[in-house]
Amino acid sequence: MSGHLRYDGQVAVVTGAGGGLGKAYATFFASRGAKVVVNDLGGSFKGEGNSTKAADVVVNEIKAAGGEAVANYDSVADGAKIIETAIKAFGRIDILINNAGILRDVSFKNMKDADWDLIMTVHVKGAYKCARAAWPYFRKQKYGRVINTASAAGLFGNFGQANYSAGKLAMVGFTETLAKEGAKYNIVCNVIAPIAASRMTETVMPPEMLENLKPDWVVPLVAVLVHKDNTSENGAIFEAGGGHIAKFRWERSSGLLLKADESYTASAIIKQWSKVNDFSNPQYPSGVNDFVGLLEESMKLGPSPQ
Ligand code: NAD
């Protein structure tokens, strides 16, 4: 698995590493020479309770296999403490895998503020706090590798997951901005939408499907993206699971360009709606300036048809 990529001399922080995907990342990096901070709050998949056991079990496994790891039991909402653990134990941080997560699935009609807030705290604030605390170290050493964790639910929406979908799509915008800000400091940030068998999915997927979705099969993609040799994939979205890897990108229809004056009316748009929907000659925008360019084109146009 993952060829012979190695991470000797590097320090990796993996949040939510007490089980599922996080455990798979942590044990992999440790087996390939990295020193690992195994963070896990140790609560339920709904974000209730806490325990030191989840992280301790993984640290013990890593040590038994000859690797180096320390446990951290803080919530990712206290990300600074997690990064501090890396600095105190190992003196640096090179790789940050923002992986911790919970679910509070409920139809939107029945969603409580607490369901919304906890998802935002763990997924959005958690990723922010960890990255924010790691950032000065990354910048100073001119090196950093970050993975944030989105979800198909964030990319497409999913019944009963308005909170989770919102939090997970937030990881995309967050990653794309960090990628742009980090580029000149050799800080590379990518976001994945994984699919894997874990306690999160064991109740919603049939056992025969889960058998083909080992967390280990998401690891190789992450291994490649956070390796020092990856300098080209930055700010990208990837799907990974069950042996499948694909890249996602935004697609914009060729679009309708109307003059922005009094002729720009609802009926003028309706008349040419097919152009709004026309993906036969798509564009693949990657920055806000692409849209500014379109606006400039619009300024140059004559009056639009009525
Ligand atoms: P999991 O429940 O096995 O692992 C998540 C871990 O995060 C748990 O060990 C949990 O204790 C820990 N955690 C939860 N809240 C925490 C907090 N506040 N601070 C620190 N640790 C905390 O689930 P998983 O499937 O391995 O999920 C890993 C990530 O992948 C999550 O972000 C999840 O949303 C995402 N994801 C998973 C799938 C999938 O198919 N499994 C699909 C899409 C996205």
DSSP conformation letters of 142-202: T-EEEEEE--HHHHH--TT-HHHHHHHHHHHHHHHHHHHHHGGGTEEEEEEEE---STTTT
Alpha-carbon distance values, 205 to 17, 152, 164, 213 (Å) = 22, 14, 18, 10
Cα(65) to centroid(ligand 1), Å: 24
Contact criterion met (CB below 8 Å) for 123 and 154: no
Residue 6 has pLDDT above 70, yes or no: yes
Which of 66, 64, 67, 44 minimizes the C-alpha distance to 54? 44
Read off the pTM. Answer: 0.95
Residue 303 has pLDDT above 60, yes or no: no
Cα(286) to centroid(ligand 1), Å: 28
Alpha-carbon span 158 to 160, nearest angstrom: 6
pLDDT of residue 251: 96
Ligand 1 atom nearest to CA at 45: 2
| 194-214 per-position pLDDT tens digit | 999 999 999 888 998 999 999
- Take residue 215 and report the two structure tokens written for it: 């967390």
- Take residue 188 and report the two structure tokens written for it: 């590379």
Contact criterion met (CB below 8 Å) for 59 and 85: no
What's 283's DSSP letter? B
ipTM exceeding 0.90, yes/no: yes
pLDDT of residue 49: 96
Cα(183) to centroid(ligand 1), Å: 27
**Residues with a known catalytic role:** 164
Alpha-carbon span 294 to 306, nearest angstrom: 21
The pick from 200, 202, 203, 238 for probing ligand 1's pocket by mutation, whose C-beta has the most ligand atoms within 8 angstroms, reads 200
pLDDT of residue 2: 47
Per-residue confidence band for 292, with pLDDT thresholds at 50, 70 and 90: confident
188 or 302, which is more confident: 188
DSSP per residue, 242-261: TTEEEEE---B-------SS
